[in-house]
Amino acid sequence: MTEMVYGAVPARDGDPVLPRWWRTIDKWSMSCILILFGIGILLGLAASPPLAEKNGFQPFHYVERQAVYGFLALMAMFLTSMMSPQLVRRLAVIGFLGAFAALVMLPVFGTDFGKGAVRWYSLGFGSLQPSEFLKPGFVVVAAWLMAASQEINGPPGKSWSFLLALVIVAFLAMQPDFGQACLVLFGWGVMYFVAGAPIVLLVGMAVCVVAVGSFAYSNSEHFARRIDGFLSPDVDPNTQLGFATNAIREGGFFGVGVGEGEVKWSLPDAHTDFIIAVAAEEYGLILVLCIIALYTLIVLRSLSRLMRERDPFIRLAGTGLVAIFGVQAMINIGVAVRLLPAKGMTLPFVSYGGSSLIAGGIAVGMLFAFTRSRPQGEIRDILRGRGR
């Protein structure tokens, strides 16, 4: 389709894979990911020993596991980023079908690990959360459907992708996992907007989301408890939000010192959902701002490169992936500083977690594959050529 409209584009297919990958990859974004993973290991050294001691493991048991999961995630990221967009799409469809089947079977074979939400499969040596792997696959499938709908006599891909999103959200709400459900809807909404959706329709969708949230608040004790805790003017100092708020306040600008923090001894999720509270207490606002800057740089550079992309599928899929990546980081940090209600969401590449790390590596690898430089010219060059 692209070649038919704009003409064939010369490509240097004879180049070896690794030199071509190194020449075309976004090195700044890749460096930011590696730095975030290094920060995650650093914070894990501080946050994990109390939990390991409580569970009877060696002090750095969880740090070692995070290093192994992180290694697998980085390998997945590098390998996926070397693939062509067409191969990424094929593998994403297969991965999406597998993850969706696992999501459907969660009520039968899943477990909640005592957290009140059936989101995981227990594998003995670890756990698997299907929704983490479902998100990148869904984004690619939805982008494929939307891009196909833009072709002459194409299928109603936008409607199909919307129905698919509703089905996924329904299964996620059954767990319940409203955080991941919101991420899926947000990613779809961003892609739909980029594909040319009218503002009125998006406003209508926002109204529907508010209505569904009100229904969930009235009918889900799990959801209502988190919303009430967020809206309460007083924070119970013995809750996770209370411990996190106090840790951030104690940290100040420069922190209390490496290893001197106390919040890791009180927060059961200090190494996962509230890792930013450990960073703020021991290293201060300086490290938190650095973490935010790294995520911001990845998002802005990715969007900048996608704006020059001519293929609608690549542009939509890349935008959806970077939107989910950035918003997940924003939600995790927002919960810790009490700007958002608790969601149970990890901080990408920083928090501990096998599913989130490996799925994050795959998703970022897809994003890097879509944002690699290609010898296709830029949209503004095409428009200038048409104007002559």
321: nearest Cα among 137, 89, 74, 194: 137
Identify the three-state secondary structure at position 227: helix
Percentage of the residues of the chain whose pLDDT score is greater than 90: 45
Identify any residues that bridge with 121 across adjacent strands, giving them in sequence order: 128
The per-residue pLDDT for range 253-292, each reduced to its tens digit, is 888 887 778 888 877 777 888 889 899 999 999 999 999 9
Higher pLDDT, 353 or 298: 298
Tokens of 80: 């996926």
The mean pLDDT of the chain is 84
- pLDDT of the residue at 235: 64
- Kindly indicate the confidence band of residue 220, based on its pLDDT and cuts at 50, 70 and 90: low
Planar angle of CA 175, 178, 182, nearest 5 degrees: 135
- pLDDT of the residue at 223: 67
Mean pLDDT: which of 177-186, 228-237, 376-385 is highest? Answer: 177-186
pTM of the full structure: 0.87
The per-residue pLDDT for range 91-101, each reduced to its tens digit, is 999 999 999 99
Helix H or strand E encompassing 337: none
Range in 102-116, 294-308, 344-358 with the lowest mean pLDDT: 102-116
- pLDDT of the residue at 266: 78
Length of the chain: 388
Per-residue pLDDT, averaged over 149-168, amounts to 90
Range in 139-148, 181-190, 257-266 with the lowest mean pLDDT: 257-266
In degrees rounded to 5, what are phi and psi of residue 365? -60, -40
Residues 18, 22, 27, 33: what is their CA dihedral angle, to the nearest 10 degrees? 0
Distance CA(20)–CA(213), nearest Å, equals: 47
- pLDDT of the residue at 8: 37
Helix H or strand E encompassing 128: strand 127-128
5 has pLDDT over 70 = no
Residue 252, by phi and psi: left (phi above 0), alpha (psi -120 to 50) or beta? left
Per-residue pLDDT, averaged over 107-128, amounts to 82
- Kindly indicate the confidence band of residue 103, based on its pLDDT and cuts at 50, 70 and 90: very high
- pLDDT of the residue at 119: 87
Residue 351, by phi and psi: left (phi above 0), alpha (psi -120 to 50) or beta? beta
Per-residue pLDDT, averaged over 45-58, amounts to 84
- pLDDT of the residue at 3: 39
Domain boundaries, the chain: 20-378
- pLDDT of the residue at 257: 82
Higher pLDDT, 38 or 274: 38
Alpha-helical runs (H) found in the chain: 2-6, 17-24, 27-54, 61-81, 85-104, 106-109, 130-149, 157-174, 178-194, 199-219, 221-231, 240-251, 275-306, 312-336, 354-371, 379-387
382 has pLDDT over 50 = no
- pLDDT of the residue at 12: 53
Contacts of 131 (CB under 8 A, 6+ apart): 99, 103, 119, 172, 177, 180
The per-residue pLDDT for range 298-339, each reduced to its tens digit, is 999 999 999 988 899 999 999 999 999 999 999 999 888 878
Q: Do the beta carbons of residue 122 and residue 106 sit within 8 Å?
A: no
| Centroid of chain to Cα 217 | 25
Q: Distance between the two ends of the chain, CA-based, in angstroms? A: 23
- pLDDT of the residue at 372: 93
- pLDDT of the residue at 113: 77
Burial of 360 from C-beta contacts in 10 A (0-12 / 13-18 / 19+) = buried
Distance CA(388)–CA(386), nearest Å, equals: 5
- pLDDT of the residue at 9: 40
- pLDDT of the residue at 387: 46
